[in-house]
Amino acid sequence: MTSSSHLNRRTLLKRSALAGALTLPGVAALTSCASGGGGNGGDSTGSGEVSDRNPFGVAEDGGVEVVIFDGGFGDEYARDTAKLYEENYGSVTLDSTQEISQLMQPRLVGGNPPDMINNSGANQMPHPALIRDNQIADLTELFDAPSWDDPDVPVRDTLLPGTIEVGQYGGDASYHLNYVYTVHGTWYSKRFLNDTLEEEFPETWDEMIRVCEKARRDHDVYGWTYAGQHARYLAFSMLPMAVKVGGKEVMEAIDRLEPDAWKADAVVATFEAFEELAARGLVLPGTPGIDHIDSQTEWAQGRALFIPNGSWVENESKEVIPDDFDLAVGAPTGLDSSDALPYGVIYAAAGEPFLVPQNAKNRAAGMEYLRMMLSNDMARNFTDKVASLTCVAGSADDLDLPPGLASAQQAIQGAGDNIIVPRFRDWYAELFIDHMGVAMGQMMAGELTAAQATDRIQQAADRIAQDDTVEKYL
């Protein structure tokens, strides 16, 4: 719980309207194709000889169809895995798109899905619904299979802690492989903050306000921007901040859909802190109307100091981040010395889910493709090309990491046991995207107060908790 002084911050707020919305073009969906072939139409359990080298019995000429989300990581890493697959088996059909749900859901329902799907992005299909409808396979056999690099070591023993658990929904079955180990937080330019502003990353909210006002006053740089059209990105800074203020039980209550979890003092105080950024005019004008790409561009070009994001931002924005930017991530700023946890709480988790459809024509090939992705060489290749860590333990230990990723590693080390993984994001995706994210965006745009925003989220959480048709994962 927060002290009463935290709650009194609301009395300091004087609402001020943000400047007129800045309308920038969105990002069109991209679709491309790679080498031809596709599923061989064989048995989904494989028709080849089973061995340590081929644990799923993929046929010698067994082709595979793969669909990759074309977002911040691109698809080059997947095409490299496709080359490895073709060296050992049949041909690969690889498509990349940003319209995962629009293109994949009809195929799943129609019984003709691809063999593996990278189910990610703003149009991600909700995993609970896919599980309920028996549309995706349990990956336990993948995790129990011999690893690509050492047949004496099962795949599960090569993965970072928590990787398998993220794909579990109230049981031992694990329905998706979250390949990318992502650090979420507040991203910034160390060069600007440390050298130009001559400041350190703010650890209390008073320091945050002071630093943002200094940037605005002395350099005409706003304190914050964010993906206004996908305002749930704000949670990457706000959720760990609430945990820092109130303790880990704050996140546990939210995950369990407890009554008044979103009305806890620590949560309300966090919302009020971010409300203050907008009220003081410290958010880049037009932010509520822009998407993630545009907000990252505005930030990288020096129009805003801080942005809530994930470690994929280094690769996604590599074309616009200046060479001397010195990208870094900060753990969430707290309120003051009465916070429950010390500075350094981090929201970090295995993300970027990959799944194998239950009714895939060549389910064995989909499993084998993922097993190849979990090889040390493919994991290193991914990190080297897209500046993000994978869930494969130790695969990036001796790589020369770019500044953002090196900072992310330092943040993980600094957090120690204070790493949070919000499970409601996967368990109740509607709550995360359609209710929490929307309410956060409306608050930052001046349409709701912090109290009204948390009320709306709590009401939505209560409806889900009381809805017997929604399976609960507690």
pLDDT tens, residue by residue, 79-117: 999 999 999 999 999 999 999 999 999 999 999 999 999
**Strand locations in 158-229 (E):** 177-189, 222-224
Q: Is residue 74 part of a domain?
A: yes
Q: Predicted confidence band at 45 (pLDDT cuts at 50, 70, 90)?
A: low
Best CA proximity match to 377, nearest among 81, 133, 155, 167: 81
What was the pLDDT predicted at 204?
98
Residues 214 and 241 placed together within one structural domain of the fold: yes
Please check whether residues 389 and 336 belong to one and the same domain: no
Q: For residue 43, is pLDDT > 80?
A: no
Name the pLDDT band for 315 (thresholds 50, 70, 90). confident
Q: Is the domain of 319 the same as that of 453?
A: yes
Average pLDDT over residues 179-194: 96
Report yes or no on 414 lying in a domain. no
In whole angstroms, give the CA distance from residue 174 to residue 177. 8
**If pLDDT is split at 50, 70 and 90, which confidence band does 386 have?**
confident
User: Do both 357 and 334 map to the same domain?
Assistant: no
**Does residue 400 lie within any of the structural domains?**
no
Per the CB < 8 A criterion, the answer to whether 370 and 155 are in contact is: no
- 442 and 328 housed in the same domain: yes
Q: Which pTM value belongs to this model?
A: 0.75
Q: What percent of the chain has pLDDT over 90?
A: 78
Average pLDDT of the chain is: 90
Same domain, 313 and 365: no
What is the mean pLDDT of the segment spanning 454-472? 96
Whether residue 139 sits in one domain with residue 270: no
Would you say residue 249 lies in a domain? yes
In a domain, 156, yes or no: yes
Residue 473 — very low, low, confident or very high, per pLDDT cuts 50/70/90? confident
Percent above pLDDT 70 for the chain: 90
Q: For residue 282, what pLDDT is reported?
A: 98
> Does residue 62 fall inside a structural domain?
yes
Number of structural domains in the chain: 2
Q: Does pLDDT of 11 surpass 50?
A: no
Residues 36 and 10 grouped into a single domain: no
For residues 12 and 66, membership in a common domain is answered with no
Burial of 275 per CB tally in 10 Å (0-12, 13-18, 19+):
buried
Say which CATH number the domain at 187 has.
3.40.190.10
Same domain, 298 and 435: yes
d(CA 396, CA 384): 8
The yes-or-no verdict on residue 457 having pLDDT over 50 is yes
Residue 201 belongs to domain spanning: 4-18+182-348+420-466
267, 382: one domain: no
